Amino acid sequence: MPNSEAAEPLVELRDVRKSFGDHVVLDEIDLAIDAGEAVVVAGVSGSGKSTMLRCINGLEEVDSGEVLFAGERVDPRSKSIGRLRADIGMVFQQFNLFPHMTVLENIMLAPVKVRGVEPAAARSRAQELLETVGIPEKADAAPADLSGGQQQRVAIARALAMDPKLMLFDEPTSALDPEMIREVLDVMRDLARGGMTMVVVTHEMGFAREVCDRIVFIDGGQIVEQGPPDEFFAAAKSPRAREFVDKIIHH
Ligand SMILES: Nc1ncnc2c1ncn2[C@@H]1O[C@H](COP(=O)(O)OP(=O)(O)OP(=O)(O)O)[C@@H](O)[C@H]1O
Ligand SMILES: [Mg+2]
């Protein structure tokens, strides 16, 4: 029997495998994420974190196994992919704002173009979202006139404007100067506390400890260990995870 709807995870990866040439990047990944969960994905460089995120929203096609989002198969070749992706917000290390548009126009664009929202409604929603991310006064600014931290907060507002069911973050603070990291993490923390389902690839282990429900540690394309942050930091079971934690703590 299939799960009842309430018990169904929002995201599910079942025996997902992905290679580039003969390099196995994801190897038998099984992962289920419930609605409302905030999950941090950790692991060393090259372990497959970004590839896993990209498989979740169908930017990357899996070789075998399957990815489900809200019970539907995520398949980059299928007709449903555009509709599924519209419900998944993604925030990258690089903000990728449209440089020739104002901040407000950046945030309004997808709701108007993709969802067919009336421009006036999209505009007032965009203004609200700028309040949420703490920079209401920047509505008419050009992206180039904002700090990195402000640009990243606009990128988050832009993703939220689509009313996503899931937010994916791929090292959202890695390109930021240290003094701007906090303001972006604070926005993400508030989102998580507000019940947004989030998968966050980050090296910010303070954020992981404080905000996330679960840490998924991947190594060599496999989920080596997962659990609540307290357990992970205090008593990681696998040697690779312990090594990772030691490096971070003694960094
Ligand atoms: N399009 C691609 N073609 C070939 N190899 C790729 C491609 N994308 C990723 N890889 C390789 O797959 C492996 C995993 O990459 P991925 O970007 O998922 O790692 P990551 O854990 O996100 O690393 P980082 O912490 O450096 O961002 C790496 O060895 C990478 O070089
Ligand atoms: Mg990466």
Is 202 a pocket residue for ligand 1 (Cβ < 6 Å)? no
Among the bound ligands, name the one nearest to the CA of residue 203. 1
- Predicted confidence at residue 2, as pLDDT, reads 52
Place of tokens 């390109």: 175
Model confidence pLDDT, tens digit, residues 207-228: 999 999 999 999 999 999 999 9
- Ligand 1: which atom is nearest the Cα of residue 54? 18
Model confidence pLDDT, tens digit, residues 2-27: 555 557 999 999 999 999 999 999 99
Please report, for the domain that includes residue 177, its CATH number.
3.40.50.300
Mean pLDDT value of segment 80-87: 95
Residue 100 pLDDT greater than 60, yes or no:
yes
User: Which strand (E) or helix (H) includes residue 205?
Assistant: helix 205-211
Full residue range of the structural domain in which residue 41 is found = 1-12+25-87+165-251
- Ligand 1: which atom is nearest the Cα of residue 221? 14
Q: What is the DSSP string of 150-164?
A: HHHHHHHHHHHTT--
**Any idea of the CA torsion for 141, 145, 150, 153, to the nearest 10 degrees?**
50
Q: Which residue's CA is the nearest one to ligand 1's atom 26?
A: 45
Please tell me the distance between residue 203's alpha carbon and the centre of ligand 2 in angstroms. Answer: 11
Model confidence pLDDT, tens digit, residues 36-81: 999 999 999 999 999 999 999 999 999 999 999 999 999 999 999 9
Say if residue 242 is in the same domain as residue 217. yes
Say if residue 6 is in the same domain as residue 64. yes
- Predicted confidence at residue 5, as pLDDT, reads 54
Is 47 a pocket residue for ligand 1 (Cβ < 6 Å)? yes
Confidence of residue 249 (pLDDT cuts 50, 70, 90): confident
- Predicted confidence at residue 6, as pLDDT, reads 59
- Predicted confidence at residue 160, as pLDDT, reads 98
Is 20 a pocket residue for ligand 1 (Cβ < 6 Å)? yes
Say if residue 226 is in the same domain as residue 113. no
Please tell me the distance between residue 250's alpha carbon and the centre of ligand 2 in angstroms. Answer: 22
Number of domains present in the structure of the chain: 2
Model confidence pLDDT, tens digit, residues 126-185: 999 999 999 999 999 999 999 999 999 999 999 999 999 999 999 999 999 999 999 999
pTM of the model: 0.95
Say if residue 130 is in the same domain as residue 192. no
Please tell me the distance between residue 92's alpha carbon and the centre of ligand 1 in angstroms. Answer: 14
- Predicted confidence at residue 251, as pLDDT, reads 65
Among the bound ligands, name the one nearest to the CA of residue 44. 1
- Predicted confidence at residue 247, as pLDDT, reads 87
Q: Which of 27, 50, 55, 61 to mutate to test the pocket of ligand 1 (most atoms within 8 A of CB)?
A: 50
Confidence of residue 112 (pLDDT cuts 50, 70, 90): very high
Please state, in angstroms and rounded to a whole number, the distance separating the CA atoms of residues 138 and 226.
40
Say if residue 154 is in the same domain as residue 173. no
Domain finish residue from 134, 163, 192? 163
- Assess contact for 76 and 61: CB atoms under 8 A: yes
